[in-house]
C-alpha cells in the first residue's frame, strides 16, 4: 500500500516538463470544450485531479477575477 506522500508518476523535472507539453497540446481542444459548456468570465469551476495545476491556472485566467477556479489533487 502506498503512503500518503507516494506519487506514482513522479515529481521530477522531466515529468513536470512532460505534463507541461501535454497541457499545451490539449489546451486548444479544452478551450473549445469550455466554450461549449459556457465557462466564461465570472464562472465557478473545479478541476478534480488537477495534478500540477496547469489546467486550473488556465481556467482561472478564463473566469477572471469575478469567477473562481479551484484545483484539487
Positions of E strands within the chain: 44-48, 68-72
Q: What is the pLDDT of residue 13?
A: 85
With beta carbons less than 8 A apart as the criterion, state whether 58 and 50 touch: no
Domain boundaries, the chain: 13-72
Q: What is the pLDDT of residue 7?
A: 63
What is the C-alpha separation between 24 and 7, in angstroms, rounded?
A: 23
Query: What's the average model confidence in pLDDT over 1-13?
Result: 65
Q: What is the pLDDT of residue 12?
A: 78
pTM above 0.75, yes or no: yes
Per-residue model confidence as pLDDT tens digits over 8-66: 666 678 888 999 999 999 999 999 999 999 999 999 999 999 989 999 999 999 999 99
Question: Which residues lie closer than 8 Å to 16 by C-beta, 6 or more apart?
Answer: 52
Amino acid at each position: 500500500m502506498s503512503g500518503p506522500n507516494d506519487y506514482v508518476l513522479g515529481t521530477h523535472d522531466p515529468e513536470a516538463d512532460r505534463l507541461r507539453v501535454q497541457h499545451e497540446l490539449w489546451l486548444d481542444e479544452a478551450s473549445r470544450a469550455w466554450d461549449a459548456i459556457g465557462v466564461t468570465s465570472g464562472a465557478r469551476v473545479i478541476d478534480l485531479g488537477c495534478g500540477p495545476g496547469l489546467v486550473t491556472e488556465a481556467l482561472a485566467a478564463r473566469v477572471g477575477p469575478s469567477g473562481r477556479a479551484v484545483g484539487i489533487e
